Structure 1
Amino acid sequence: MTSPIVSVRDLQVHYPIGGGFMKGKPQTVRAVDGVSFEIYPGQIFGLVGESGSGKTTVGRAILKAAPITHGEVTLRVADTALHVDQLRGDGLKALRRHAQMIFQDPYASLSPRMTVRDIIAEPLEAMKLTRNREETDRRVREVAEKCRLNLEHLRRFPHAFSGGQRQRIAIARALVSNPSFLVADEAVAALDVSIQANILNLLKSLQQDMNLAFMFISHDLSVVAHFCDVVAVMYLGEIVEIAPTHKLFSQPAHPYTQALLSAIPPLDPDAKRDRVQLSGEIPSPITPPTGCRFHTRCPVAQPACQTIKPEWTQISGDHGVACHLVADHVDSTVPEHLQEQKKHAMPEC
């Protein structure tokens, strides 16, 4: 079996707040609280959830752009394993060479004082990946062409371009170092629907040509259904379900996943649909609920959900969920000698 290119085990990202004179007792924001998953070469791994669930923090932590409080993050490049959680100084330069990020806002992520050529060339020059200016220019032209940018655009500044064109520039900058893994953080959220389709088709084409692995962070489930191979659902710093895209959308197991999918508007405006209504707001990551973190909003919560944290349950080899109701159902159908093995299962893609 192919080894994963990204392996995340019990990732935690906590931010201390408060403390000091007249500031009250120190507290901790548990932005990400024990996340585990794997991403394989050439795979598009989707990460979905409400705002504040910790999606962006996970993506930044994998690239060491957010502090890792606890856990292991490993990026495998050829025969080398980069332990991201341990990297410092020059080690981070090696990580940047193989892992890049596409940011959400194409207007804020590009320097208005640099030409498009300089923006795309910056990673090459910062990491010293080319020997001279001629080689740099050749690489910039190659990547610009792959991203469907005209060569005459290289002399212009970002203000001269639309949002879709700016995002193509950002994609070219991310690809110029020839990485093997990309984090796309809401890469099409700020674009018009027609432009979104063009950018997604471009990313899909580049992913196939370069055998890239993607983490695609989004709140738009229709985009995720079209673009991703595997989807993980996050709620309040934890992953509650992981499954192949077709299985997650056809057989959602966690009540939170079911609620998210029920909110997708149908193509037929007159079609009837059964909405799963969630009461209240997402709790604070400073004081998350005990037991199952979703129990305060879950329409089918049981007494045990309030005090006992659900264990990770593998419904099948590629479909895992953290829910008491699902675990009880699986336990009643799984042979006894396999139940102990199930209890120790880790979420896998």
Structure 2
Amino acid sequence: MSNDNLIETQDLSVGFPVGGKIFNKSTLMAVNEVSLSIPRGSFFGVVGESGSGKTTFGRALLNAAPITSGSAHYDDGEVNYNLGKLAGADLKEYRRRAQLIFQDPYAALSPRMTVRDIIAEPLEVMGLCNSRDEVDERVREIAGLCRLNLEHLRRFPHAFSGGQRQRISIARALVSKPRFVVADESVAALDVSIQADILNLLKSLQDEMGLTYLFISHDLSVVAHTCDHVAVMYLGQIMESAPTRQLFQSPRHPYTKALFSAIPSLDPDDRGKAQKLEGEIPSPTNRPSGCQFHTRCPFATDQCRREEPHLETFEAGHAVSCHRWRELEMAD
């Protein structure tokens, strides 16, 4: 594992058994042989359609979904964990170092607890403080960093707007001083103006606390504004991965190009060339042979239907999984 990477996965797969007495038993592969690296201190984005496996991948890196095969490693310079084999004290310590920011700020907070108790709960459950005064000091510290007033700590969640509730959720996730944070659609439920405020808060907290984010989203404009590096997922696999600016300026995979063509333009005279994708994502329990995208790809050939492409790195940090990307690049 590289010393510069916080997370590294190698052929990581996550499957769930489905079926039973009535239906034939099978395995739903939500994540299928994903290999990638998340550098320390990065804002790493994962995008794709609903059902592409983004959330399950994030849960696997939090040790909240079982790793079926392959491996995932965490190394922050102080500890080095194989995430598929964590147990006991190591698992408890990893829970402190890796946290999750939920999507829905309304459902994520208990209506029966004050803001102070909500933020303090991880400290008390993990036994990270020796006294109530120490807990209160830590709560006040993280509340200030998340731009919450001290008077807010005595109130209940129903008294706050969506943006304020999300700041409370962020404070709860960061109060244990984690190194790795999975933000799963953490601004999707907010108004656009509030989204910008929360994203700027996440960036400032990253600088202050030395955080590494895995930012899961379907909003490409948000990803373009926020992330350093982006991986594009489809049917549980990485189709393309590159530094953000490079990916948005020169997408190589047909699926990536189709996603980016749907981004609305601020120029009223720019009609663009939207590439319509026919059909739906195939079922993960009945994956197509060859390239997973060939059933919806307008450029698919017999080779695409027979042979599965591998993620190929062709320049610094830019990798693509497509048999024909060079040929299509020349044709454009």
TM-score (norm 1): 0.92
Give the count of matched residue pairs. 328
Query: Which residue identity is paired with 1:13?
Result: V
Q: Which string of whole-angstrom CA distances, capped at 9 and with x for unpartnered residues, describes residues 185-230 of structure 1?
A: 0000000001000000000110111121100000000000000000
Shift of 1:328: 6.6
Contact 1:313 / 1:327 at 8 angstroms: preserved in 2?
Answer: no
Alignment match, 1:273: 272
Cα separation, 1, equivalents of 2:209 and 2:264: 34
Alignment match, 1:344: none
Query: Which residue identity is paired with 1:128?
Result: G
Alignment match, 1:32: 31
User: Matched residue of 1:5: which SS?
Assistant: strand
Contact 2:40 / 2:76 at 8 angstroms: preserved in 1?
Answer: no
Contact 2:103 / 2:184 at 8 angstroms: preserved in 1?
Answer: yes
Cα separation, 1, equivalents of 2:327 and 2:34: 22
Q: Which string of whole-angstrom CA distances, capped at 9 and with x for unpartnered residues, describes residues 309-337 of structure 1?
A: 0122112021001000136789xxxxxxx
Shift of 1:72: 1.1
Alignment match, 1:198: 197
Contact 1:164 / 1:199 at 8 angstroms: preserved in 2?
Answer: yes
Contact 1:242 / 1:319 at 8 angstroms: preserved in 2?
Answer: yes
Spell out structure 1 runs of 4+ moving beyond 3 A: 327-330
Contact 2:74 / 2:80 at 8 angstroms: preserved in 1?
Answer: yes
Cα separation, 2, equivalents of 1:121 and 1:285: 39
Shift of 1:97: 0.9
Shift of 1:70: 1.1
In structure 2, stretches of 5+ residues that fail to align are none
How do 1:27-106 residues align onto structure 2 when only pairs under 5 Å count? 27-106=26-105
Query: Which residue identity is paired with 2:231?
Result: A
Shift of 1:91: 2.2
Cα separation, 2, equivalents of 1:131 and 1:77: 25
Task: Note if 1:298 corresponds to 2:297.
Answer: yes
Shift of 1:133: 0.3
Alignment match, 1:226: 225
CA RMSD of aligned residues (A): 1.3
Cα separation, 1, equivalents of 2:328 and 2:88: 49
Cα separation, 1, equivalents of 2:41 and 2:216: 16
Alignment match, 2:133: 134
Contact 1:185 / 1:218 at 8 angstroms: preserved in 2?
Answer: yes
Cα separation, 1, equivalents of 2:3 and 2:199: 26
Task: Note if 1:164 corresponds to 2:172.
Answer: no
Alignment match, 1:6: 7
Cα separation, 1, equivalents of 2:197 and 2:149: 16
Cα separation, 1, equivalents of 2:279 and 2:214: 30
Alignment match, 2:18: 17
Task: Note if 1:239 corresponds to 2:215.
Answer: no
Query: Which residue identity is paired with 1:26?
Result: K
Cα separation, 2, equivalents of 1:246 and 1:58: 23
Q: Which string of whole-angstrom CA distances, capped at 9 and with x for unpartnered residues, describes residues 147-202 of structure 1?
A: 00010010111111111111000000011011111000000000000100000000
Q: Which string of whole-angstrom CA distances, capped at 9 and with x for unpartnered residues, describes residues 93-139 of structure 1?
A: 11111110001011111111111101101111111111100010000
Shift of 1:2: 4.5
